[in-house]
């Protein structure tokens, strides 16, 4: 049974809120740059204000705030649907604190891969790295909690194929998030194993 008022629901509301604010009220916070440009992940580039911006220039928040940005409404909807489906399950199994740890591990790993392997002046947007981490968390969790791991593997393979076949997708972030989510979930399970078992998922 899905929890009402779950952390997953609140995260979806926040991410959608940032997307629509960036689209329709980009200067609402009176920052030096439009909201989307303040949040997306980029290594180093000159922006319209004539200044160099990016992680290389101390803007480390971009490694996390990239999850608050999306390239289109379709991009947002697909990611939020996946987050709602996957995140609700992981949150039920591990509880809110461990769920946050897993998501942050996946997000930071995905952002790090994007940062290290993408061109310096190409921005990255989206929560996809974190969502791939949730796929990995479900896979790591599956056999101990009555989840059909073969179905999980199938879904991961399909999404990875899409990642590599569709142009302009940051596959580095997806693979990094997948590995980061798997490692973080494994560590969470090792130090404090969850007690809940979910059947027929």
Give the separation between CA 50 and CA 44, rounded to whole angstroms: 13
Q: Which residues are catalytic?
A: 128, 174
Give the separation between CA 171 and CA 129, rounded to whole angstroms: 9
CATH of 7-191, one of 2.60.40.740, 2.40.30.30, 1.20.1540.10, 3.40.1190.20: 1.20.1540.10
138 touches 118 (CB < 8 A): no
Per-residue pLDDT at 201 exceeds 60? no
What band does 200 get if pLDDT is binned at 50, 70 and 90? very low
Per-residue pLDDT at 1 exceeds 50? no
Mean pLDDT within 50-71 = 96
More confident residue, 3 or 83: 83
For the chain, the structural domain boundaries read 7-191
Mean pLDDT within 80-89 = 94
> What percent of the chain clears pLDDT 70, i.e. is strictly above it?
93
């Amino acid at each position: 049974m899905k929890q009402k008022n779950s952390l997953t629901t609140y995260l979806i509301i926040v991410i959608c809120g940032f997307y629509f604010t960036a689209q329709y009220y980009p200067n609402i916070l009176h920052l030096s740059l439009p909201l989307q440009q303040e949040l997306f992940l980029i290594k180093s580039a000159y922006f319209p204000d004539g200044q160099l911006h990016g992680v290389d220039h101390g803007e480390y928040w971009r490694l996390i705030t990239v999850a608050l940005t999306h390239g289109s409404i379709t991009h947002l909807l697909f990611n939020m649907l996946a987050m709602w489906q996957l995140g609700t399950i992981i949150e039920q199994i591990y509880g809110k604190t461990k769920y946050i740890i897993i998501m942050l591990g996946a997000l930071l790993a995905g952002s790090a891969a994007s940062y290290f392997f993408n061109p310096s002046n190409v921005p990255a947007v989206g929560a996809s790295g974190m969502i791939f981490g949730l796929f990995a968390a479900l896979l790591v969790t599956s056999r101990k909690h009555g989840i059909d791991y073969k179905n999980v593997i199938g879904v991961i393979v399909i999404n990875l194929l899409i990642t590599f076949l569709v142009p302009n997708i940051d596959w580095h972030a997806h693979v990094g998030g997948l590995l980061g989510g798997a490692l973080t979930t494994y560590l969470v399970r090792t130090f404090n194993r969850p007690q809940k078992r979910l059947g027929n998922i």
